[in-house]
Amino acid sequence: MIRIRLSSAASEDVREAQAWYAGQATGLDLEFRRELDRVLERIRTYPAGFPQIHRSIRRANLRRFPYGVFYVRRDDHLFVLAVAHHARSPSHWKRRL
């Protein structure tokens, strides 16, 4: 099965989002993480199943939360560039390519 690697910037995106949701309601950070994990599994299973939005970058959206997972295929793995809120400027993830 294909592997998924998160960039250090994408890991920081996840930490920031979880911290924000933890401050909103008890357990909401854990729900965010579960939804993110479900999306990462769908990406792993169907890596070409999400729209290519810029050059080789694809985006898979979370269902319950307004976030997208921005990733590219690199040799034998998928590399997550960003986990970004929909309101963020595209420059947030484009510059990570």
What per-residue confidence (pLDDT) applies to 28?
98
What per-residue confidence (pLDDT) applies to 93?
82
What per-residue confidence (pLDDT) applies to 97?
76
Question: Which residues of the chain carry a pLDDT beneath 50?
Answer: none
The CATH number of the domain covering residues in 3-86: 3.30.2310.20
What per-residue confidence (pLDDT) applies to 92?
84
What per-residue confidence (pLDDT) applies to 87?
94
* Closest to 59 measured CA to CA, from 50, 48, 67: 50
Stated as kind and residue range, the H or E segment containing 82 is: strand 77-85
